[in-house]
Every structure is written in structure tokens, then in C-alpha cells.
Amino acid sequence: MDSIVVTGNGPLSGQIPIAGAKNACLTLMPATLLSEEPLTLTNAPRLSDIRTMTDLLGSLGAEVSTLHNGKVLAMSSHHINNHMAHYDIVRKMRASILVLGPMLAREGHAVVSLPGGCAIGARPVDLHLRALESMGAELELKDGYVHASTPSGRLTGGTVEFPFASVGATENALMAATLAKGTTVLKGAAREPEIVDLARCLRKMGARIEGDGTETITIEGVDRLNGATHPVVTDRIELGTYMLAPAICGGEVELLGGRKDLLSAFCDKLDEAGVEIDQTEQGLRVKRRADHIRAVNVTTEPFPGFPTDLQAQMMALLCTADGVSVLEETIFENRFMHAPELMRMGATIDVHGGTATVTGVRTLKGAPVMATDLRASVSLILAGLAAEGETTVSRVYHLDRGYEHVVRKLEGVGARIERVKAQ
């Protein structure tokens, strides 16, 4: 297993290009199952999760060609010749559950493995299943698989009430509703930019959708969808992650393609902590106003609140802030696994349940640390950028799921960082 070695090297300067969003691409790709016509995605990120979704769609009979060094995904689901998503692929990536809605809507039946949990939580899919049942699906759980079917051969429009704004359940229901007979109303829907991006793509394919980006989405089902070409929206989590690099070790960095509207709550928090963020022609320019960051309190919430996917990275910043910060993680039940690793670097963090209290220290000290999940891994790299000495982050396969060319992007702004191949 490879590791990444980071050595604190002072202020950064330069530009970092931001890629297409992993979490948009992972819901846009299954949308190909809704149509016999080709669906082409541009600005796709080059990530292992995208390769996993490619393999999954391929196992169902879809063709996915990766062009232009992986930035273009040309997909065609003219023939779906297998209706079962196997456990051995689904267990590697929870987003695999997103083939269920489209496959059921297009084919009238689907068998998808339950994804199982992951490091950050149990992550059930009950809301996905209830949403599809509200559209007339019949579901049976057997041997760890969901066997879904539509007795009438087609989903029927209905009203779906989400008890809380689940991103994936909203995406599954939205895709399924595009081909249902009649009108579907999603109440309490998630509002993330990735859902708006999916709706934009589905409308290009001929879907009739209103209200995406709000908590009520209305879909008029159609008989069939066409193909389309669609650019994947900028990755706001990669954007926020790299915005924290100059915040944690000084200097000034411009994030190409960055937009404040994708991260308004996060930008407000950084402003409160003493970080200056300016929208430029090319993206976002970021630098801290003074030598040290002010402590701030953070509570993660569904969009438009502070993103849970930036909580670990923000914690790394607050480890060297002046004062005490309190972080509340309200979305996942076990998303502080980066805390003990940051404490190996000299951080002072007290974790109780969903609350982490961080008392800032003057400097962190480089140390060998272990990545435990995708966002925790990059939090440790951020801490290493600011630490005295050398930090070795092991198990970087977690990182490869969600960040393309991390070493190249950070080297490009002056970081001392290298990837060490496993012996």
C-alpha cells in the first residue's frame, strides 16, 4: 500500500485546478441506464470510484468508454443484459445503490446488493427503498440483496416524504421518477449542488423536473428519455479541501474553477476564522489575513449548511487556531477517526459522541499516521503541510477514491510532498 510523505515547507503560492465532482459523477453515470441513447459526461474526475462505477455499469451490459485521458465518459445502455448488481462491486462503493432506481424505472425489475456499512457509519438505504415503494415498487430483501419489481411493469408517480434530506435517496428517487407514469413529488428532498447538476442533465435527456435545489422536487414522468452530453459540475469538496491549504500554512492560492455559491456556509466559516476569499475571473483566491487562524465552532448540516465532507479537513485547520473550537458532526455517527491521528501530531482534541472539542496548539509535529477514510486521509495531508518535520500518511488508497493528482496539485503550489510506492 502506497503512502504519501509531506514535509512542512511554509507558505504556498500558485494555482490549483479543481476537477469535476466525484459525488455528481457517481449519480450522473447511472442515469445512462434510463435511456437507450448515448449519454456523454465531460469534465469527469479521474478517480478509483469512477472506475468502480464503470465496472458496475459494464456488469449490467452498459458500455462506458473513457476518452481524453478519462475526462470524458461516453456511455451507452442500449442493451441491459444483466439486472443484478453484485455484492463484490457494491461493497466497495456505497454509491452503487444508485443503479437501483434507474434500472427499475427502465426495466421494471432489478436486483441490487445491499451496500453494507463503511468506516464512517452503518449507512442504511431504507429511505431509498421507501421512496421506490411510494412509486409502486415491490421490494423483497433476500440473501443481502434487494429484489425490486413493478407489478404493472412501470413505476407510478407518487408522493415521497423524506424524514431528513438524504442525498442518495433523493437521487435514486429523482432518477426513477423521470420514467414513472404520472407525477411524483419529493418532499424534504436534499438540495446539494450535485442534485441540481443531476436534474440539469436529466432535463437535457427530456425529463420534466421542477424544484431541484429546493426541498420539494416535482417530476412529470415521460415514456422515454433521449441521450445527452453534460459537463460534471465542479467538485465543491475538493475545492474546499484545497482552500484550507493556504489557510493552514500561509501564502496565497487561486483555486481554478472555484465558485463561492457551491460552498457559501463553508466560506462564511473560513471568513470568521480569518481567511480572505475573493472570487476572481478564474476561480477563488484564498489567503489568511493574519499569521494565525481564529477558533470557530462548526456544525455539519445538509446543504446549504456546512458540508460533513469538509469536517475532517476543517478540524485539521482548527488544530492550530488561537483558542478552542467545537465541531458537531450531525450527519454520520462515526466521522471523527481522523482525530486520534491528528493527536499523534500533537493536536489537542476531545471527542464525545458527535462532538469534538479542539484546543489550538502553536504547531503540529510531523509523525507517521494512518488514513481511515477518504476525507480523513486528506485532513492528515493538510495537517502535514503545516507541521514541523515529516508526516507519512499510510493507506492512501482511501485518498485515490476522491482526489486526483493530489501530489502534483500540491507540489504545484510549493508543497514538499511525494508519493512512496509500496515495497
* Smallest separation, CB 66 to ligand EPZ (Å): 19
Closest CA to 235 of 262, 275, 199, 200: 262
Residue closer to ligand EPZ, measured from CB, 288 or 375: 375
Site string for ligand EPZ, 6-25 (x = CB under 6 A): -----------------x--
Touching ligand EPZ, residues 314-353 (CB under 6 A): 331-332
Which listed residue (25, 118, 201, 267) is catalytic? 118
123 binds ligand EPZ (CB under 6 A): yes
Of 53-61, 116-124, 264-272, 358-366, the segment contacting ligand EPZ by CB under 6 A is: 116-124
**368 neighbors 345 (Cβ within 8 angstroms):** no
* Smallest separation, CB 142 to ligand EPZ (Å): 19
Q: Which listed residue (10, 124, 144, 153) binds ligand EPZ by CB under 6 A?
A: 124
Touching ligand EPZ, residues 181-240 (CB under 6 A): none
Number of residues interacting with ligand EPZ: please give it, by CB under 6 A: 22
Question: Is the preceding peptide bond at 246 cis, omega within 30 degrees of 0?
Answer: no
- 96 dihedral zone (left: phi>0; alpha: psi -120 to 50; beta): alpha
* Smallest separation, CB 381 to ligand EPZ (Å): 15
What is the residue whose three cell numbers read 485547520? 317
Residue closer to ligand EPZ, measured from CB, 250 or 302: 302
Residue closer to ligand EPZ, measured from CB, 93 or 387: 93
**316 neighbors 310 (Cβ within 8 angstroms):** no
* Smallest separation, CB 211 to ligand EPZ (Å): 18
Touching ligand EPZ, residues 349-388 (CB under 6 A): 374-375
158 binds ligand EPZ (CB under 6 A): no
Q: Which residues pair with 217 in a beta bridge?
A: 186
Residue closer to ligand EPZ, measured from CB, 199 or 364: 199
**109 neighbors 145 (Cβ within 8 angstroms):** no
**202 neighbors 174 (Cβ within 8 angstroms):** yes
Of 3-11, 52-60, 165-173, 280-288, the segment contacting ligand EPZ by CB under 6 A is: 165-173
91 binds ligand EPZ (CB under 6 A): no
Residue closer to ligand EPZ, measured from CB, 145 or 332: 332
Count of CB atoms situated within 10 Å of the CB of 290: 10
Touching ligand EPZ, residues 239-298 (CB under 6 A): none
Closest CA to 12 of 419, 421, 410: 410
* Smallest separation, CB 21 to ligand EPZ (Å): 9
* Smallest separation, CB 183 to ligand EPZ (Å): 23
* Smallest separation, CB 232 to ligand EPZ (Å): 13
Q: Which listed residue (101, 158, 168, 384) binds ligand EPZ by CB under 6 A?
A: 168
Q: Which listed residue (60, 125, 202, 284) binds ligand EPZ by CB under 6 A?
A: 125
Residue closer to ligand EPZ, measured from CB, 40 or 313: 313
Closest CA to 378 of 269, 193, 276, 239: 239
Assess whether 249 carries a catalytic annotation: no
Q: Which listed residue (136, 221, 246, 402) binds ligand EPZ by CB under 6 A?
A: 402
* Smallest separation, CB 374 to ligand EPZ (Å): 5
Q: Which residues pair with 418 in a beta bridge?
A: 5
Count of CB atoms situated within 10 Å of the CB of 81: 8
127 binds ligand EPZ (CB under 6 A): yes
Of 167-175, 203-211, 242-250, 259-267, the segment contacting ligand EPZ by CB under 6 A is: 167-175
* Smallest separation, CB 269 to ligand EPZ (Å): 16
Q: Which amino acid is at 220?
A: E
Q: Which listed residue (19, 26, 29, 275) binds ligand EPZ by CB under 6 A?
A: 26
The residues of the shown chain that bind ligand EPZ, judged by CB under 6 A, are 23, 26, 94-95, 121, 123-128, 166-169, 308-309, 331-332, 374-375, 402
Which are the catalytic amino acids? Answer: 118
